[in-house]
Amino acid sequence: MTLNIEKNFFKGLTIRSGLFTSDFRLCCPQVLNSNISSDKCHGPIDVISSCENLVGDVFKRFVIWIVGLVTIVGNGIVLAYRLVWNREIFRKPYGFFVTGLAFSDFLMGIYLMIISSVDIYYQDVYVLEETHWRNGMLCHISGFLSTLSSETSTFFICLITLDRYLSITYPFGEYRLSILSTRVLFTIAWLVGIVLAAIPLIISDWEIYSSNSLCLALPFSSNRFRGWEFSFVVYVGVNFILFILIALGQNAIFVNIYRRKESMPFLKNNRKRRLEDLSVAKKLAFVAMSDFLCWFPIGIIGYFSMKGHTFDSDVYAWFAVFVLPINSALNPIIYTIPALYVKCSTNLDRTIETSLRTM
What is the Cα–Cα distance from 317 to 48, expressed in whole angstroms? 6
- The per-residue pLDDT of the chain, averaged, comes to 80
Between 75 and 250, where is the model more confident? 75
CB proximity list for 25: less than 8 A, separation 6 or greater: 3, 5, 31, 43, 51, 127, 130
Considering only 67-76, 254-263, 299-308, which range has the smallest mean pLDDT? 254-263
Domains in the chain: ranges and CATH: 45-358 (1.20.1070.10)
> Residue 305 class from Cβ within 10 Å (0-12 exposed, 13-18 middle, 19+ buried)?
buried
pLDDT in tens, 293-344: 787 888 888 888 777 777 776 777 888 888 889 888 888 887 766 666 556 5
Residue 218 above 70 pLDDT? yes
Residue 39: how many CB atoms within 10 A of its CB? 8
Between 320 and 1, where is the model more confident? 320
Residue 201 above 90 pLDDT? yes
Binning pLDDT at 50, 70 and 90, where does residue 352 land?
very low
pLDDT in tens, 136-150: 999 999 999 999 999
Residue 197 above 90 pLDDT? yes
Q: Check: CB of residue 219 under 8 Å from CB of residue 264.
A: no
Model's pTM, two decimal places? Answer: 0.85
DSSP string, 110-160: HHHHHHHHHHHHTTTTHHHHHHHHHTSHHHHHHHHHHHHHHHHHHHHHHHH
